Amino acid sequence: MLVYTLKRLFAGVITVWFIATATFIAMHQVPGDPLMNDKAVSAEIRANLEAKYGLDKPVTEQYFIFLGNMLSGDFGISFTQQNRRVNDIIRDHFPISAILGLLAIFFAATGGVLWGALTAIYRNRLPDIVIMFLVILGISVPSFVFAALGQLFLVNLNSLFGQSIIPVAGWGTIWHMLMPSMVLGLGTMALLTRLMRSSMLEVVNEDYIKTARAKGLSPTRIFFRHQLRNAILPVITVLGPQIAAITTGGFVVELVFAIPGLGRYFVQAVQQLDYTVIMGTTVFYGAFLVLMVIIVDILYGFIDPRVRLS
Amino acid sequence: MKISLPKFFLPFSLAYCLGAQASDAVDFESQTLTIALTQEPPQLNSAKATDQVSGTVLGHLMQGLVRYDRRGNVIPGVAERWEMDEKTATFWLREDAKWSDGRPVTAHDFVFAWQRVVDPKTASEYAFILAPIKNAAEINEGKLPVTQLGAVALDDRTLQVSLARPTAYFVKLTVFNTFYPIRQDFFESRGDQYAAEAKDLLYNGPFKLTEWTHSASLKMVKNEHYWDSENISLNAIHADYITADTRARLNLYTDGKIAFTRLDGETYKDALSQRFRIRRFTTGSTFFLEYNHRPGKPTGNRNLRKAIQSVFDPDEMVNRVLATPGNLRGESLFPVWIKGVKDKFRKEYPAPQAGYNIKEAKRYLELAVKELGSIPPLVLLVSDSPTATKQGEYIQGVLLNKLGIELKIDVQTFKQRLAKMTSGEFDIVGAGWGPDFDDILTFGDLFASWNMNNRGRYNNPEYDRLVRLTMNSTDPKTRMDAMGKAQQILFDDAVVLPQYEQGVIYLLNPKIKGVARRVIGPDPDFTYARIVP
Amino acid sequence: MSLFEPTAADFEPLARQEKTEQITRPSLSYWQDAWVRLKKNTRAIISLGIIVLLGLFTLIGPLLWSVNPALQNLDQVSQAPSWAKSAVVIAPYQSWNGIRLDNYTSPARTFTSLPAPTGFSTADTPTTQRVRLAWDQVPGADGYNVYRNNRAPRDFNDLGLPLGSTYGDELSYEDRLSLEPREYYYSLVPTDGYDEYEVYSQLILTPALALTPDEAVERELITDPHEVNIGDYLTIEFHPLGTDYLGRDMLARLMEGARVSLFIGIVAPFLFVLVGIIYGGFAGYFGGQVDGLLMRFAEFVVALPFLLFMILFKIAFGIGPGESGIMPMLLALVLLSWPSTARLVRGQVLQIREEGYIEAARLLGATDHYLVLRHIIPNTMGVILVTLTFAVPAAIFTEAFLSFIGMGVAPPTPSWGSMCNEGVKTMLSHPHELIFPALLISITVLAFNLLGDGLTEALDSKMRSRD
C-alpha cells in the first residue's frame, strides 16, 4: 500500500513536470507579446521590462530558469499586476475556488447519488421520469444561464422579504456560497444522477444481489450494503477529474457572483498572455489534479477490494 | 438582569441567522457608500498605473498639484498657487498638505515621483506624458541620469519645472495620476512590494486605503490628515464587489447593495422596468475604424476609404446598433468637449461630414477597383468583447449589402489583437482613444508619423507639420487653426472612420448628492459626495 | 437372435426432411439482436425520429425557409415572434436643423425653481424613422433635458431614458434612438445648463412603423422605388421566431447555427468517446505497467490548459481571420477531452475483468479479442452511453464559451451556444432570443438521452433473456 502510494506520487511528479513543459512550449508558441499594452512604449522601456522578466534570454535558458524556480516553489511576478507574486495570487485565491468547488462537489455527489438511486428504484415510473426530465434540463441549460437565473432568484427573494436574506453576490459567509456552489455543481449533479441510475440498474441483476435476496436479507440492507456500494464505483471514478474541473472551471460563476477565485485569474491570464500566472496556475492545478486522482484511486481500492492496487 | 423577550429571541430569528453582514448601498448615519468595481485595480503605484479602474481608485487616495472642480475648471490641489511662462512652471505647495502618516507633502516628493516615472528602470508606460519636462525624454531613453530631470525642489514648498518646449497645457497635465507625489523613504522601505497591499502605500488624498482583499474588496476611509478633510462628508467608500458582469452589478443595485452601476445596451431595459432613475454621461472618448496605410494594403487606397466613408451612417450606428442614449454620432477624431480658442473646438471648426451617399460611394468604389484591380476581402480586426463583435458584424453587413465588399471579422483576445495591430496584420481595426490630458493634442498627435500608437502607420508630412506647429506654439489661435486643418485632412484623406463618441448610462442611488463625472481624471469621483437622509 | 444385417437400402441417403423440430431461435449476432430490441423501445424510436427531424431542420430547413441569416434589418431589432406587420412608406430621412432662438443670451443667474415647460409637442408626424419634438422657451432656463419612458412616469425620478440635452437656444429635439411602434411617454425638464430644475412636462405619442422606398428595395419588398407612393402601406418581412439584436431572422439563424452546434455537438463526442473506449479498454484490460503508464499520460492530458491549446491549434491550422475555425476546435476537443471517458471505461473494465463469466470464457479458450468485443465492451456500454449523452451538450457549450471569449466560430456564423450567450443578456426584455436556441439544445440533448437509454437496454446482454 505504502509502496504503491509512493510509486504513484513519484509518477505524479513526473506528470507535473510534463505538464509544465508542454504548457511552457505552447505558451511561447502563441503569438502576442505579454509586455505589449494599449500605449506603445519606447525600446528602452521594453528592454528593461524584458530584463525584469528574464525574457531577454534565449527560450531554453528561460525554461531552465523556470524549472529551477519551480523546484524552489517560486513562480515569479505577474505581468499584469507588476508588484504581485504569482505565489501570493495562488495562495490568496485558490482556497476560495477550492471551497466553492468542494461545496459544489458535495451538492453534486449527494444529490447525484440520491437522485440516481431513486430513479433506479422507481424505474420508468413517475419519480424517474420527473427526475430525468430535470436532469436533462440541468445539462442542456448552460451554467451562465443558471448563474444569471440563480442570482435573479435571490434578488426577487430578498425583495419579497424586504431585506437581504441571502446575499446576491460577493464572498465571505456561508450564505454567500450557497447559490454559486449549487449553480456550479448542477451539471455534475446531473451527470452523476445519470451515471448512478445506469450503474444501479446494472448492479440490480448481479448474482450477489440475488444471493443476498435469497438469503433473506432485508431490502434496506441489500440496498445499502450491496447495491449502493457497488453502484457507486463509476461515480467515484469520474469524481476525481470532476473535482479538478469544478475547482478550476468556475470562471462564469465567479464572474457573475463576484467571487475572488482563481478561475477568473486563469482565464484572464490566458487572454492577457500573463506568462508567469499561466505557468503558475497550470502547474499548480496540474499537481492538484494529479493528487486528486491518486486519492480517488486509493479510495477506490478501499471501496472495491476486487480492484488490486499494484 | 432583565432581558426583554424580543431581544432575547433576536439571535434565533430568521433574519438574524440568515442576515448577511454586507453593508447597504448607502448609510446616512455613518456616511458610508458601497460600490462595485469592474475589475481589480491592476496597479496602484501612481507612477505605473495605466488603466481606468486604478486611476479612479487612486484619484480618491492621492492628490496632485492641481485638480478639477465639478465643472472641469482647474483649482488648487497640493499647490496653492502657480506661475508659468514659456520656459518654466513654478508651483508653491500649501503648508497643510500632509501624508496619511502626518508628515508634510513636500516638493521633493513630487521630484522623486517624477524621477521614478521617467527612470527607464521603472518602465512606466505613461512616461511619455512627462515629455514636456526638460530632459524627460532623454532620461527615459537612458541617455541622461534621472537627476538631470528638469523638476527641482527649490525648497520644501517650492517646485520649479523647466520645460523642454513651450507647453500651454502643462498645469492641466499635472492633474493626471502619473504626476502624483511619492515619498522617497516610504517607497524605498517597501521595495518591490510598493503599492502591492493597502499597507504598502502612503496617501495624501481625501481617503486612505485601509483594507484591500485582492479581487474581492477595497475599503477606503476618510484621511484625517488630508488638508481639506473638513469639506469631505463621506467617512468611507467600500468597494465590496468586483465583477465585470453588468447584470450582476444591476442585481446588486436592485438588492440595495451598491450605490452606483453602469448600464449597457442589454441591461438598461431591465433598469427601466424597475423604474430606476437613469442618468447619462459622455465619457469623452472617440471610437473609430482605423485603416492600415502600410504599402501593399488595399486600405492604403484613398478611393476605397472614401467609398466606405460615404456608405457609413454614424446615425444608424449610434441609434440602432449601440442603441443606448448618450452616444454621439462620430463626426471627427476630436470629441465635442475639446476646447478651442474661446468656445469648444468643434463649434469653431465644424467637422466636415460625408453623410450617407450611396451614389458617391459607388463612384469611389469604381475608381478604387480601377486602381486596385479588384477589391480583395478585407480583414476587420476587433477585440473579443461582445460589443466590439456586434459592431463588427454591423459593419460587415453594411459593406456587403451596400458595396459588395466582403469583410472578414478577426476576433482576437487583448494581447493577440495588440500584436496584430503592431505588426500590421489587418486592413481595418476597431479602435478607440480616450484623452490623457485636457488639450487637443491628446487626440491630435495620434496620427503623427512618429507616434507609436498610430497603428495604421499613416504618414503625411503635412499632418506632421501641423502637429509640430501645435506642439511648439502657445498661441491658441495658431494651434487651433493647425488642428482645424488636421481635422480637414483626416476627413479628406479618410484616415480614420469616426464611429461614435462614447456615452454611458448609469444608475446612482438618489440619496447621494455631489458625485462628479469627468472626462479626464478619476471617474466617477465621490470625493465631494454626501449622503442625504 | 439375429444380428443386424445391413442391406443395400440402409446405405441410401435419407430423404431430406423439410420440417424438423425447432428448438433454437434464429441465431442473431449481438448487434442484430440489439437492433431488434431497440426497435421495440418506443422512447428510443421517438428519439431517433427527433434526431432525424433535427437533421432535416439543419439540411432541408434552409431550402424551405430561404431567408438570408446574415441579412440585418436595423428597423426590426430584437422583435418578438409575431405575424407579418405593415408599415407606412415615408420619404427618405432629411436632416433637421431644429428650432433655434436668434440672439439668445444665457440667463445671468440660476433660479431656485422654474415653471414646467409649455407647448411640448411634436413638430410633425412621429414615425419610427424619427420623432421631432418642439417646445416653448422657459424664461430663465439655459438648457433642456429630454427623457423617454415606455410607461407612464410616477414621479420626477421615473422619467425613463435620458435621451439628450439641448442648449438654452435650442427648443427642439430629434429622437431616433431605436424607435418602435409603441406608446412612448416623453418628458422635458429645464436645466441651468448643468443641473435640472425639478419640473417636467409630458407628451404621449405612438410613432408609426415606417420605411422609405429605398429601404423597401434593399429589403426586396419591392423591385423599383417608384412602385410605391409616400403614404402607401407595405407588408414587411415575416419573422416567425422573431429577430435578434441586429434584426436578423431567428429561424434562419437557428438553422444555420444548427450546422456548427450539431457538428461540434455530435462529431466531437463520438470521436473522443471512441478514443476513450479504446484507450481505457486497453489500459484496463492489460492492467499492470501498461495501465499505469497509459493512465499517467491521460492525467497529463487532462491537466493541459484547454484555452491555451485552443489558441495554439487555431494557429497551427493556419486559420485566417473570418474563417470558421471549426476543425481546430473539433481537434482540440477530441485531443483534450478523451481522458475522462478513458478513465471511466478503464474503471469499468478493471471491475468486469474480475467477473466470473470472463474467467469462464477464458477457460473455454476465448481470445483477448473475443473477450473485449463480446463481453467487456458491451458490459461497459451503459456507462459509456451516459458519458456520451453528456458530452453532447458539453461540447455545444464549450463552443459557446469559446465564442464568448472570442475564440469560437467567426461572426456572422451563428451557433446555438453563442446565440444563448447573446440571449442570456437580454433574457428579461427579449426572452425569445434565449428560449429558442436553448430549447433546441434541450431537444437535442433529450433525444440523445432517450436514445442512450434505449441503447443501454437494447445492448444489455443480461436483459436479453427477459424478452
Residue C375 contacts A where some CB pair is shorter than 8 Å? no
Query: Residue A256 and residue B243: Cβ atoms within 8 Å?
Result: yes
pLDDT in the model for residue C331: 85
For residue B516, the cross-strand partners are B525
Cβ-count burial A267-290 (b if 16+ within 10 Å, e if not): bbbbbbbbbbbbbbbbbbbbbbbb
Q: Which of A30, A154, A159, A164 is the best substitution to test chain B (most B C-beta atoms within 10 A)?
A: A164
Q: Which of B251, B287, B416, B417 is the best substitution to test chain A (most A C-beta atoms within 10 A)?
A: B251
pLDDT in the model for residue B21: 47
pLDDT in the model for residue B14: 39
pLDDT in the model for residue B4: 38
Three cell numbers, residue C444: 437535442
pLDDT in the model for residue A306: 60
Residue B17 contacts A where some CB pair is shorter than 8 Å? no
Those residues whose C-beta lies under 8 Å from the C-beta of residue A267, and which sit 6 or more positions away, are: A251, C307, C405
Question: In chain C, where does the domain assigned CATH 1.10.3720.10 lie?
Answer: 46-68+247-465
- Please state which architecture CATH assigns to domain C85-236: Sandwich (2.60)
User: What is the C-alpha R_g of chain B?
Assistant: 25
Query: Residue B394 and residue C412: Cβ atoms within 8 Å?
Result: no
User: How far apart (Å, rounded) are the C-alpha atoms in residues B499 and B382?
Assistant: 14
pLDDT in the model for residue A241: 64
Those residues whose C-beta lies under 8 Å from the C-beta of residue A261, and which sit 6 or more positions away, are: A93, A96, A97, A100, A250, A254, B215
pLDDT tens by residue, A109-149 = 899 888 888 888 887 788 888 888 888 787 777 778 888 88
The residue among A44 and C19 whose pLDDT is bigger is: A44
Average per-residue pLDDT for chain C: 83
In this predicted structure, the answer to whether residue A300 has a pLDDT above a threshold of 90 is no
In this predicted structure, the answer to whether residue B79 has a pLDDT above a threshold of 90 is yes
pLDDT tens by residue, B435-465 = 888 889 999 989 999 888 888 999 999 999 9
Nearest to B409 among C176, C322, C425 (CB): C322
pLDDT tens by residue, C348-399 = 888 788 778 888 888 888 888 888 777 787 778 777 877 787 788 778 878 8
pLDDT in the model for residue B19: 41
Query: Residue A145 and residue C420: Cβ atoms within 8 Å?
Result: yes
B-chain CB neighbours of A89 within 8 Å are 214
Residue B36 contacts A where some CB pair is shorter than 8 Å? yes
Chains that touch C (3 or more CB pairs under 8 A): A, B
Nearest-neighbour CA in chain A from C366: distance (Å):
22
In this predicted structure, the answer to whether residue B378 has a pLDDT above a threshold of 60 is yes
User: Domain map of chain A by residue range?
Assistant: 88-273
- Please state which architecture CATH assigns to domain A88-273: Orthogonal Bundle (1.10)
pLDDT in the model for residue A240: 66
Residue C158 contacts B where some CB pair is shorter than 8 Å? yes
Average per-residue pLDDT for chain B: 88
Question: In chain C, where does the domain assigned CATH 2.60.40.10 lie?
Answer: 85-236
Query: Residue C309 and residue A132: Cβ atoms within 8 Å?
Result: no
The residue among C450 and C205 whose pLDDT is bigger is: C205
In this predicted structure, the answer to whether residue C146 has a pLDDT above a threshold of 90 is yes
Residue C187, number of CB atoms within 10 A of its CB: 23
Those residues whose C-beta lies under 8 Å from the C-beta of residue B18, and which sit 6 or more positions away, are: A165, A166, A175
Residue range B53-69: average pLDDT?
92
Cβ-count burial C281-311 (b if 16+ within 10 Å, e if not): bbbbbebeeebeebbbbbbbbbbbbbbbbbb
In this predicted structure, the answer to whether residue C195 has a pLDDT above a threshold of 60 is yes
Nearest to C70 among B247, B397, B408 (CB): B397
User: How far apart (Å, rounded) are the C-alpha atoms in residues C390 and C396?
Assistant: 10
Average per-residue pLDDT for chain A: 83
**CATH level 3 topology of C46-68+247-465:** MetI-like fold (1.10.3720)
In this predicted structure, the answer to whether residue B418 has a pLDDT above a threshold of 90 is no
Is pTM beyond 0.90? Reply is no
pLDDT tens by residue, C425-440 = 888 888 888 889 888 8
Residue B121 contacts A where some CB pair is shorter than 8 Å? yes
Residue C42 contacts A where some CB pair is shorter than 8 Å? no
Nearest to C386 among A195, A240, A306 (CB): A195
The residue among A24 and A143 whose pLDDT is bigger is: A24
Those residues whose C-beta lies under 8 Å from the C-beta of residue C129, and which sit 6 or more positions away, are: C90, C93, C176, C179, C210, C211, C212
Does residue C117 have a cis peptide bond before it, meaning omega lies within 30 degrees of 0?
A: no
Query: Residue C383 and residue A199: Cβ atoms within 8 Å?
Result: yes
Residue range A198-219: average pLDDT?
80
Query: Residue B275 and residue C218: Cβ atoms within 8 Å?
Result: no
Nearest-neighbour CA in chain A from C121: distance (Å):
39
pLDDT tens by residue, C20-35 = 565 666 666 667 777 7
pLDDT tens by residue, C85-101 = 888 899 888 888 888 88
ipTM of the complex: 0.85
Is the distance from CB of B516 to CB of B291 less than 8 angstroms?
A: no
